Amino acid sequence: MTIETNSPQETRRIGVEAGKAAHPGQVFTLSGDLGTGKTVFTQGLAEGLGIEEPVSSPTFTIVQVYEGGRLPLYHFDVYRIGDIEEMEEVGFEYYLENGGVSLVEWANLIEELLPPKRTEITIEKDLQKGFDYRRITIEDVG
* Footprint on this chain of ligand ADP (rule: CB under 6 A): 5-8, 10-11, 32, 34-40, 57, 105, 132, 134
Residue 23 or 59: which CB sits closer to ligand ADP? 59
The partner in contact with residue 61, picked from ligand ADP, Mg ion, none with C-beta cut-offs of 5 to 8 angstroms by kind, is: none
Query: Edge-to-edge strand order for the sheet containing 63-66?
Result: 2-5, 134-141, 118-125, 27-31, 101-105, 73-77, 63-66
Report the Cα 102 to chain-centroid distance in Å.
8
| Residue with Cβ nearer ligand ADP (4 or 88) | 4
CB of 19 to Mg ion, least distance (A): 16
Interstrand relation of 2-5 and 27-31 (parallel, antiparallel or unpaired): unpaired
Query: Is 108:121 a contact under the CB 8 Å cutoff?
Result: no
Q: How many residues touch Mg ion (CB under 5 A)? A: 4
Residue ranges binding Mg ion (CB under 5 A):
38-39, 57, 105
